[in-house]
Amino acid sequence: MTRGDALVIMFAALLAGWSFTEFWGVQGPGATEVRIVSGNEEFARLPLARDTRIDVPGPAGITRVEIADGAARCARSPGSAGICQRAGWLRETGDMAVSLPNRVLIEILGEGEKQFDSINH
Amino acid sequence: MSRSGWLMLLPIALLLSACERPEIHTQRILAFGTLVEVSIYSADAELARTATEAVRQDLERMHRAWHPWEPGALGRTNEQLATQNEFSVDPSILPLLELGQALERRSDGLFNPAMGDLIALWGFHGDDRPDDPPPADAQIRQWLERAPSMAHIELDGLRARATRPGLRLDLGGFAKGYGVDRAMQRLRDMGIEHAIINAGGDLRAIGQPGNRPWRIGIRHPDGEEIMASLELRGDESVYTSGDYERYFVYDGIRYHHILDPRTGQPAREARSVTVLHHDGAEADAAATALFVAGPGRFAEIAAGLGIRKAMLLDPQGNMHMTPDMAERVRFEAEPAPAVRILELPR
């Protein structure tokens, strides 16, 4: 084996090692944005870093989504049980609130390993 | 190896680094009147998107067909049953009728899909219950006197007839499980081997994401806290029924949607039941039947339904479970509940 061969092998090994950590390694942390779905369509995708309020129309009325201090919540929504509002402030990747009567889904998106792949409830 | 041989490794390494890695693609959709989460472990993101959309369309189609109060196949079946005349059953409904009859029989009547009118009396048949009081005792007594049951449907091939008045089917107790099973088959037909479909607590998982099992959290009935977890590999369903899913409070009393066909009232001996089983429809029905059974008849009813892995959280916070479930479940919350193992009768 010549020195050139050794260099090619070393380069290939380094490349494989880099590609593994880059593409297969642990993801960075952090919830970054909130996705709002109305019916079957994505209504909005907003950064959690910008405080705002948005009204989402649905078949039962208006669902109000509020973003503040890096979290989002369902501030107001039709539905007598108040299930959407009861989800509280959503901060972590995978957190969500749903208004079934108004067919609105609010979910937090971002990178990061979740403890569970799915929650049974 | 020659220099050219080593040099051939370089493009292979480059190709490997450019491959898309398999990852879990999770999408949440609104279908079947609930929130459905589809997680697909694949390197093909486009396939995951297409497959999730196919699942959504399938579930929506089934929901329309099997809604007891809308003009779909089940709605028409209910209209025909009300006449007590013989009629031809829609082929999409027939397997559900047969399965419903078998599940009611095997649960000793604690799972009863013929309670449509009782569910409507309580106002749990729509998406959003109006702010009404619970039904009057006289109304419930009237329903109990009729005691509609799947046994009051005569089936002869595709022909059917109700033998009693007041029989309205509501297949909500197991149709979602049946639908999730079919949706999972759709994913398999599309070449997907590793996936979870979770339709509002009705969950089926196949395969595994990489070299680890699927990790499933089970939520505590009182809130967002995860009380227990399960690891799933291969092909298993986890179904949970709880008193927190649909309820209303009237005059300080909480009324939930899991009704006891013996009393016409919400069942009061459980907070939640989780069933781990291979078949989604059976697991779905069993979660309801075991909730109604309470700790007293838990083992007997589980055995009748062929369920070996199940657990029940009672109103005092104690956990009752089968020996096989005890081997699989792991408690996540501190302190862990007191556990009582219930041996299944042979």
Q: Closest approach of chain B CAs to the CA of A20, in angstroms? A: 7
Nearest to A96 among B28, B217, B245 (CB): B28
Alpha helices by DSSP H, A3-82? 3-24
Task: Collect all residues with Cβ–Cβ distance below 8 Å to B41 and sequence separation of at least 6.
Answer: B22, B23, B24, B25, B194, B195, B207, B208, B209, B210
Residue B109 lies in a domain: yes
How are beta strands A104-110 and A96-99 bridged, if at all? antiparallel
Residue B144 lies in a domain: yes
Residue B49 pLDDT exceeds 70: yes
Give A25's pLDDT tier (boundaries 50, 70, 90).
very low
- Of the two residues B89 and B173, the one the predictor is more confident about is B89
pLDDT, residue B2, reads 58
Residue B125 lies in a domain: yes
The arithmetic mean of pLDDT across residues B271-297, rounded, is: 96
Q: Do the chains contact at B17 and A18, CB–CB below 8 Å?
A: yes
DSSP string across B34-101? EEEEEEEEES-HHHHHHHHHHHHHHHHHHHHHT-TTSSSHHHHHHHHHHHT--EEPPTTTHHHHHHHH
Distance of CA B172 to the CA centre of its chain: 9
Alpha helices by DSSP H, chain B? 3-18, 45-65, 73-83, 94-106, 116-122, 137-146, 175-189, 280-304, 323-328
Q: How many CB pairs under 8 A join A and B?
A: 119
Chain B residues whose CB is inside 8 A of the A86 CB are none
Residue B322 lies in a domain: no
Q: Do the chains contact at B217 and A105, CB–CB below 8 Å?
A: no
Helix (H, G, I), strand (E, B) or coil at A51: coil
pLDDT, residue A40, reads 82
pLDDT, residue B129, reads 79
CA atoms within 13 A on the CB side of A99: 31
Q: What distance in Å separates the CA atoms of residue B223 and residue B229, rounded to the nearest whole number?
A: 15
Residue to mutate among B1, B15, B26, with most A CBs inside 10 A, is: B26
For B226-241, what is each residue's pLDDT tens digit?
999 999 988 999 999 9
Please say whether the beta carbons of B291 and B110 come within 8 A.
no
For B51-83, what is each residue's pLDDT tens digit?
999 999 999 999 999 998 888 999 999 999 999
Residue B82 lies in a domain: yes
Q: Do the chains contact at B28 and A9, CB–CB below 8 Å?
A: no
Residue B95 pLDDT exceeds 70: yes
pLDDT, residue B9, reads 59
Q: Closest approach of chain B CAs to the CA of A63, in angstroms? A: 15
Which chain A residue is nearest to residue B37, measuring alpha carbons?
A118
A interface with B, Cβ–Cβ < 8 A, is 1-2, 4-5, 8-9, 11-12, 15-16, 18-19, 22-24, 37, 39-40, 60, 78-81, 87-88, 96, 98, 100-101, 103, 105, 107, 115-121
Q: Do the chains contact at B128 and A11, CB–CB below 8 Å?
A: no
Give A30's pLDDT tier (boundaries 50, 70, 90).
confident
C-alpha distances in angstroms, B187 versus A100, B149, B192, B238, B285?
A: 25, 35, 5, 18, 23
For B307-338, what is each residue's pLDDT tens digit?
999 999 999 999 999 999 999 999 998 899 99
Q: Closest approach of chain A CAs to the CA of B336, in angstroms? A: 18
pLDDT, residue B334, reads 87
Please say whether the beta carbons of B38 and B55 come within 8 A.
yes
Distance of CA B313 to the CA centre of its chain: 17
Residue A1 pLDDT exceeds 90: no
Please say whether the beta carbons of B239 and B251 come within 8 A.
no
How are beta strands B339-341 and B319-321 bridged, if at all? parallel
Residue B18 pLDDT exceeds 70: no
Please say whether the beta carbons of B273 and B297 come within 8 A.
no
Q: What distance in Å separates the CA atoms of residue B100 and residue B94, rounded to the nearest whole number?
A: 10
**CATH number reported for the structural domain that contains residue B155 in this entry:** 1.10.3980.10
Chain A residues whose CB is inside 8 A of the B177 CB are none
The arithmetic mean of pLDDT across residues B279-304, rounded, is: 96
Nearest to A116 among B34, B130, B226 (CB): B226
Q: What kind and span of H or E run contains A86? A: helix A83-86
Q: What distance in Å separates the CA atoms of residue B344 and residue B346, rounded to the nearest whole number?
A: 6
Give B91's pLDDT tier (boundaries 50, 70, 90).
very high
Residue A88 pLDDT exceeds 70: yes
pLDDT, residue A8, reads 66
The arithmetic mean of pLDDT across residues B179-195, rounded, is: 97
Chain B residues whose CB is inside 8 A of the A58 CB are none
Give A12's pLDDT tier (boundaries 50, 70, 90).
low
**How many domains, in total, are found in chain B?**
1
Which chain B residue is nearest to residue A41, measuring alpha carbons?
B29
Q: What value, to the nearest 5°, has the Cα angle with vertex B47 and ends B40 and B230?
A: 5
Task: Collect all residues with Cβ–Cβ distance below 8 Å to B84 and sequence separation of at least 6.
Answer: B161, B162, B163, B164, B165
pLDDT, residue A83, reads 83
Give B287's pLDDT tier (boundaries 50, 70, 90).
very high
pLDDT, residue A23, reads 43
pLDDT, residue B140, reads 96
Give B21's pLDDT tier (boundaries 50, 70, 90).
confident
Give B223's pLDDT tier (boundaries 50, 70, 90).
confident
Nearest to B6 among A9, A60, A98 (CB): A9
Which residue segments constitute the domains of chain A, with CATH numbers given? 31-110 (2.60.320.10)
For A48-62, what is each residue's pLDDT tens digit?
999 999 999 999 999
Q: What distance in Å separates the CA atoms of residue A95 and residue A30, rounded to the nearest whole number?
A: 12
Q: Which residue's structure tokens are 């369309």? A: B57
pLDDT, residue B288, reads 96
Task: Collect all residues with Cβ–Cβ distance below 8 Å to B128 and sequence separation of at least 6.
Answer: A60, A78, A79, A80, A81, A100, A101
CA atoms within 13 A on the CB side of B190: 22
Which chain B residue is nearest to residue A116, measuring alpha carbons?
B215
C-alpha distances in angstroms, A81 versus B107, B200, B246?
A: 31, 17, 8
Chain A residues whose CB is inside 8 A of the B219 CB are 119-121
Give the structural domain span for B112. 73-169
Residue B99 lies in a domain: yes
Averaged pLDDT score across all residues of chain A: 82
Residue B330 lies in a domain: no
Residue B307 lies in a domain: no
Chain A residues whose CB is inside 8 A of the B57 CB are none
Residue B7 pLDDT exceeds 90: no
